[in-house]
Structures are given as structure tokens and as C-alpha cells.
Amino acid sequence: MARPSKESRTLLMLIVGLLAWLVPGAGHFVLKEKKRSIIIFATIALTFSVGIYVGSIGVIDLFGSTPWYVVLAQVMNSPMVVLLGRLTTGPAYPVYSQPNEIGQIYTSTAGLLNLLCIVNAVYLAHLRSAETAGE
């Protein structure tokens, strides 16, 4: 049995991490963790959807909100958040007061939860590649 090279193991971890960011749970799906990937996708998608429902699409404000707290946490959901943010620029979707804050908290929490799942998927890919390499 051929041992996988260090480059192929690194490539696997990068692919798993990128897929896990593009679609929540996709990294675990590639690693054949189907139940876990479904649970991750449902949890993150529902949490993000509740945030959008409570605060409207206007809670994704790439230019008017705090970048460290809101924007980077929301973008960890998926790169589609950047597209939604570009579509909602301007005064067309104003959100104020408590619904805005609650919506931002939910969408940011979903993004940070996805970040944890990305790290977990990359770690599982590392463990599996280490097992096949005999390390």
C-alpha cells in the first residue's frame, strides 16, 4: 500500500476546509460522516435563517457594521453572505433597534459555529491522513 505524501495530505485538509466553508457540513460529508454533516448543515442553516427572519436581510451589512464582530463572523457561514451583503447595500433594507441586534447575534453565532465545524473537519481529515500514513 502506497503511503500518501505530505502534499496530498495537506491538499486533502485544504479541500475539506474549503468545502466546509462553502457549504456547512460539506467537509464532514466528504469524510463520509453523513449524519454529522446533515446535523451541522441543519443547525447552521436554521440558526442563520432565524437571524435573517428576526432582523430581515438588512442585518448583513458589510459596510455599516463592526467588521470584527459582525462581518467576519457572518462571512464564516459561507461566501454567499458576501453576495447577500452586496445585494443589500444602501438604504433599501433598514433595520433598527432590537431586531437588528438579535438578527446579528443569530447570524454571527451561526458563522462562528461553522468556524468550529470547519476546524473539526480539517482535524478529522488530518487524523485520517495520519492513520493511513502510519504516523
- Convert the pLDDT of each residue in 69-121 to its tens digit: 677 888 899 988 888 888 877 666 667 677 788 988 999 999 999 999 999 99
Q: Is 56 exposed, middle or buried (0-12, 13-18, 19+ CB in 10 A)?
A: middle
Instruction: For the chain, give the mean pLDDT.
Output: 86
CB neighbourhood size of 10 (10 A):
13
Q: What is the pLDDT of residue 1?
A: 46
Read off the pLDDT band of 60 (50, 70, 90).
confident
Q: What is the pLDDT of residue 6?
A: 79
DSSP string, 91-119: TTS---HHHHHHHHHHHHHHHHHHHHHHH
Task: Read off the pTM.
Answer: 0.85
Distance CA 97, CA 29 (A): 39
The structural domains of the chain, with segments of one domain joined by +, span: 6-133
